[in-house]
């Protein structure tokens, strides 16, 4: 049993931002289930949105966010994040993030749904630079303990106390130490869930392997509400390649003039097609519209992919703006300065999550959430490009400040029972776990994807109900492994997505269902109560 002031589950942009603010006053433990840089943050390409240009305004950024979010956003959250963005960028610069500059001013790129250039970036690998700076800052702080390879299993609450009192507080986590194979009991006065998204619920996703929605499932099991889980974002341009299945081609390629085209060999092959879907904004329409257009053309014409073409620009321009993507594609035999890139839509971002307020507080005292695991009201029905990292910095910091401010009101944990392993044995059927995992991801892709129908959602719900029993039985009988923990969370999160999708009787933003093609006049969150 170990005790810390605050435990943070997640070492990405949200978790490390929170840790760095908290470390001024408190001892913090940060957990990562794999390497510290194993989350989505390190994979981010395009950049971070902030109003930094004299011709731009907060009002523009707020409007763009609300338009992309199809009006489901909570305006006070949008204002809060947008207005705190310049300060967040300054903090990152102070930590040494080498944002691209032109003549001493930050270079701003553009992405879909943005009316102005407002994306700061580090070439086309912004996330790596951000992760490195945050990690170095955190590692240098004596109040921060970084613990990779620790897989949080469940939140510790009153039901784990030696003497339960009925309190609703959260007091840390049980976590599997992958170095020792032992489950540790880690207690704290406050816990921040910064565990990222649930992209790997889908067969094709741009997200890293660990994006299995663990934090959302843990918070739900502990009694916190989750919201808008049906709002799964699909990125329009994931590389189509038989070897590399999840490499993103940043939206900034379209921002810098890239065109979507039909491949040769079909009617209108080689021509742009976005004029049939959004004639004004074309390739720079919000992501839900462009992803649906790509999906529509691929299905209508029986294609494997559509083309993303920036080869009309000078090769130096392309290489200068997208050096990492250029190198990666050259390694796969594609020269983007001379030929188009084959692309398909793939799951990319979890807009829904653990419901939080403007201070990152969840429903449960002592439990906070930030970043992709949370639903703050910023993204509504569809996230605006490059607003996600920004949300991590703003809410990581906000949660940390709230904890520091209310520290004296937070009770110390009572005596907690250690993890009981006496009733379980080692599993000899690891293969079943892997198969079930693949099955979930496949039917989520086929039945709960970009275009939905009630019948397909019900089919998915039926599969989930059947598999849930099997997974629970497995979990009850065998010693926990990372795969089993993730599978248990995956089925939980799939259930939350499907239940939310069935509850929304309209099409809005990322949720497009043919039985209800119209958008209702009132925008209402889908809030699930445990
Ligand atoms: P993550 O960075 O995903 O970190 C999650 C952390 O939680 C990890 O440390 C992980 O190990 C830990 N964790 C998870 N489960 C457990 C557990 N059970 N126990 C212990 N630890 C656990 N957004 C932008 O704004 N701009 C971009 O340019 C951009 N590009 C992107 C490109 C790609 C390819 C992808 C996939 C996403 C991109 N996004 C972008 C989205 C953005 O990167 C993510 O939303 C954001 O980084 C999420 O940060 P986070 O801190 O919430 O979670
Ligand atoms: C991208 O670079 O296209 C991803 C940006 C984002 O997800 O916000």
Q: What is the mean pLDDT of residues 241-246?
A: 89
Whether the CB of 526 sits within 6 Å of ligand 2: no
- From the CA of 416, how far away is ligand 1's center (Å)? 31
Query: pLDDT at position 147, please?
Result: 98
Query: CA 329 to CA 309: how far, in whole Å?
Result: 13
Distances (CA, A) of 232 to 5, 66, 382: 34, 17, 8
pLDDT score at 423: 66
- pLDDT band (50, 70, 90) for residue 103: confident
The whole-number average pLDDT for the span 65-85 is 98
The dihedral of CA 178, 193, 208, 526: what is its sign?
positive
Task: List C-alpha distances in Å: 348 to 136, 197, 220, 249, 291.
Answer: 27, 9, 22, 12, 11
**Do the Cβ atoms of 213 and 437 come closer than 8 Å?**
no
Residue 477: helix, strand or coil by DSSP? helix
Query: 377 CA distance to ligand 2 centroid (A)?
Result: 19
DSSP letters along 215-249, please? Answer: HHHHHHHHT--EE-TT-EEEEEEEE--SS----B-
287 is catalytic: yes
The pLDDT tens digits of the residues spanning 500-516 come to: 999 999 999 999 999 99
Each residue's pLDDT tens digit, 369-428: 999 999 999 999 999 999 999 999 999 999 999 999 999 999 999 999 999 877 677 777
- Cα 196 to ligand 1 centre (Å): 5
In the prediction, which pLDDT does 474 show? 87
The percentage of residues in the chain with a pLDDT greater than 90, rounded to a whole number, is 94
Q: What is the pLDDT of residue 1?
A: 83
Q: How far apart are CA 463 and CA 75, in angstroms?
A: 37
Q: What percent of the chain stands above pLDDT 70?
A: 100
What pTM did the predictor assign?
Answer: 0.97
Parallel/antiparallel/unpaired status of strands 108-109 and 170-177: unpaired
**Residue 476 CA: distances (Å) to CA of 107, 422, 424, 485:** 54, 11, 7, 11
CB 352 within 8 A of CB 228: yes
Q: What Rg do the C-alpha atoms of the chain give, in angstroms?
A: 22
Q: Which residue has the tokens 């809410």?
A: 395
What is the band of 430 on the pLDDT scale with cuts at 50, 70, 90?
confident
Residue 416 dihedral angles phi and psi, to the nearest 5°: -110, 140
Q: Which two three-digit tokens encode residue 434?
A: 């892997």
pLDDT at 295 (0 to 100): 95
d(CA 497, CA 499): 6
CA of 27 to the centre of ligand 2 (A): 33
The residue whose CA has the least distance to atom 33 of ligand 1 is 44
d(CA 27, CA 203): 39
**Cβ atoms 153, 173 nearer than 8 A:** yes
Q: Are strands 108-109 and 119-120 parallel, antiparallel or unpaired?
A: antiparallel
The terminus-to-terminus CA distance of the chain in angstroms comes to 29
Q: Say which residues have a Cβ less than 8 Å from residue 342's Cβ, sequence separation at least 6.
A: 239, 240, 241, 263, 304, 305, 306, 307, 308, 334
Other beta carbons within 10 Å of 109: 23
Nearest Cα residue to atom 18 of ligand 1? 152
233 touches ligand 2 (CB under 6 Å): no
Decide: helix, strand or coil at residue 4.
Answer: strand
What CA dihedral angle connects 51, 80, 129 and 36, to 10 degrees?
-170
Query: For 182, left (φ over 0), alpha (ψ -120 to 50), or beta?
Result: beta
Q: How confident is the model at residue 81 (pLDDT cuts 50, 70, 90)?
A: very high
- Write down the catalytic residue from 118, 287, 361, 504: 287
In the three-class reduction of DSSP (H, G, I as helix; E, B as strand; rest coil), residue 517 is classed as coil
Q: What is the mean pLDDT of residues 67-81?
A: 97
Q: How far is the CA of 268 from the centre of ligand 1 (A)?
A: 39
Ligand 1 pocket mutation pick from 244, 388, 392 by most atoms within 8 angstroms of CB? 388
Quick one: pLDDT band at residue 54, thresholds 50, 70, 90?
very high
Does ligand 2 have an atom closer than 6 angstroms to the CB of 397?
Answer: no
Residue of 195, 287, 383 best suited for mutating to test ligand 1, as the one with most atoms within 8 Å of CB: 195
Q: Check: CB of residue 6 under 8 Å from CB of residue 22.
A: yes
């Amino acid at each position: 049993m170990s005790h810390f002031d605050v435990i943070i589950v997640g070492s990405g942009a949200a978790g490390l931002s929170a840790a760095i603010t908290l470390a001024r006053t408190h001892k913090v433990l940060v957990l990562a289930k794999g390497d510290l840089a194993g989350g989505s943050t390190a994979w981010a390409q395009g950049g971070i949105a902030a109003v930094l240009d004299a011709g731009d305004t907060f009002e523009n950024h707020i409007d763009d966010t609300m338009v992309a979010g199809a009006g489901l956003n909570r305006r006070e959250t949008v204002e809060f994040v947008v207005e705190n963005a310049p300060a967040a960028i300054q903090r990152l610069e102070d930590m040494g993030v080498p944002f691209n500059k032109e003549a001493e001013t930050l270079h701003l790129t553009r992405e879909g749904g943005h009316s102005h250039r407002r994306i700061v970036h580090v070439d086309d690998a912004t996330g790596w630079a951000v992760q490195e700076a945050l990690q170095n800052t955190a590692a240098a702080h004596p109040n921060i303990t970084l613990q990779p390879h620790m897989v949080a299993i469940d939140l510790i609450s009153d039901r784990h106390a030696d003497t339960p009192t009925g309190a609703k507080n959260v007091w840390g986590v049980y976590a599997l130490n992958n170095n020792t194979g032992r489950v540790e009991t880690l207690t704290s006065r406050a816990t921040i869930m910064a565990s990222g998204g649930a992209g790997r619920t889908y067969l094709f996703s741009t997200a890293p392997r660990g994006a299995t929605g663990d934090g959302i499932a843990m918070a739900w099991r502990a009694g916190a509400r989750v919201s808008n889980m049906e709002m799964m974002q699909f990125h329009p341009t994931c590389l189509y390649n038989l070897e590399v299945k999840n490499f993103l081609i940043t939206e900034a390629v379209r921002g810098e003039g890239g065109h979507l085209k039909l491949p040769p060999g079909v009617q209108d092959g080689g021509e742009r097609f976005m004029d049939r879907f959004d004639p004004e904004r074309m390739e720079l329409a919000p992501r839900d519209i462009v992803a649906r257009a790509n999906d529509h053309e691929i299905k209508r014409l029986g294609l494997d992919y559509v083309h993303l073409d920036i080869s009309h620009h000078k090769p130096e321009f392309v290489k200068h703006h997208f050096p990492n993507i250029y190198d990666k594609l050259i390694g796969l035999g594609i020269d983007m300065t001379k030929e188009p890139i084959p692309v398909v839509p793939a799951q990319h971002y979890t807009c829904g999550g653990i419901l939080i307020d403007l201070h990152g507080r969840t429903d449960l005292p002592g439990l906070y959430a930030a970043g992709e695991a949370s639903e703050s009201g910023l993204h509504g029905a569809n996230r605006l490009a490059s607003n996600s990292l920004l949300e991590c910095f703003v809410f990581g910091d906000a949660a940390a400040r709230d904890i520091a401010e209310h520290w004296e009101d937070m009770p110390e944990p009572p005596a907690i029972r250690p993890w009981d392993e006496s009733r379980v044995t080692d599993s000899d059927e690891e293969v079943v776990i892997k198969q079930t995992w693949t099955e979930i991801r496949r039917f989520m892709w086929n039945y709960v994807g970009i275009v939905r129908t009630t019948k397909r959602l019900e089919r998915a719900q039926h599969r989930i109900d059947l598999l849930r029993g099997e997974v629970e039985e497995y979990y009850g009988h065998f010693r926990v492994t990372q795969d089993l923990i993730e599978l248990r969370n995956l089925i939980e999160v799939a259930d939350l997505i499907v239940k939310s999708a069935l509850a929304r009787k309209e099409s809005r933003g990322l949720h497009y269902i043919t039985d209800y093609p119209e958008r209702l006049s009132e925008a209402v969150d889908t809030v699930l109560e445990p």
